[in-house]
Chains A and B, each alone.
Chain A
Amino acid sequence: AQKITQTQPGMFVQEKEAVTLDCTYDTSDPSYGLFWYKQPSSGEMIFLIYQGSYDQQNATEGRYSLNFQKARKSANLVISASQLGDSAMYFCAMRGHNTNAGKSTFGDGTTLTVKP
């Protein structure tokens, strides 16, 4: 079984500042992937970044980076230079590499509000 925990229901950040969204996970799979998705008010979930459990380096995608600490089972998302358009709900998710692509486990999400 897999479990994702996001302990921050809501976060506020000033525009242009960096923010860290927390995610911890639990799994018995020896190999797995971790994902972050963004969900604006429109409802569509947008893939942001991926980290494989055996990747030696933290993943980065533009202003997004994933702070992966395998021993602590954490996969925090860091957004640098926040923009007003970053205001949305953010979900951490995972999938064991032996699990079919469509079945991912999601956390409860963190609502991020960027203040001007």
Chain B
Amino acid sequence: KAGVTQTPRYLIKTRGQQVTLSCSPISGHRSVSWYQQTPGQGLQFLFEYFSETQRNKGNFPGRFSGRQFSNSRSEMNVSTLELGDSALYLCASSFASGAPDTGELFFGEGSRLTVL
């Protein structure tokens, strides 16, 4: 079955602009989470959506937001871009059955954002 699809793969923006990234999870997966990966900070959890509701949020400013649609596809938005927002943004989906077992994440290839 198809994996997690993220678009766009690469993008370049300038400071002050805003950006929207898209993620299509694996069919049947209801949980979509977003991570920011930078060389200095590693992988940082942004937020998680489940059934169109945000149920977890990391320590990021309000400029970072997201949403999930009824078909489980998710978007994240970053407004008023700063140089430090340059990163690889990874989306991950999970079946999220609720059982206290495995629950591994399935990642997309990421969207690499460069802010100039």
Contact = CB atoms under 8 A, between A and B. Distances in A.
B109 A50 contact: no
Contacts, number: 75
Interface stretch (A11-19, A20-28, A72-80, A103-111): A103-111
Contacts of A71: none
B104 A103 contact: no
Contacts of B56: 99-100, 102-103
A108 B40 CA distance: 9
Contact of A50 (B35, B104, B110, B112): B104
A108 B94 CA distance: 22
Interface in A65-116: 91, 95, 97-109
Contacts of A105: 45
Contacts of A107: 42
B96 A100 contact: yes
A95 B35 CA distance: 15
Nearest to A40: B109
Interface of A: 31, 33, 35, 37, 42-47, 50, 52, 91, 95, 97-109
18 contacts: A31-B100, A35-B104, A43-B90, A43-B109, A43-B110, A43-B112, A44-B107, A44-B109, A45-B90, A52-B101, A95-B103, A100-B31, A101-B95, A102-B31, A102-B94, A103-B58, A104-B105, A105-B45
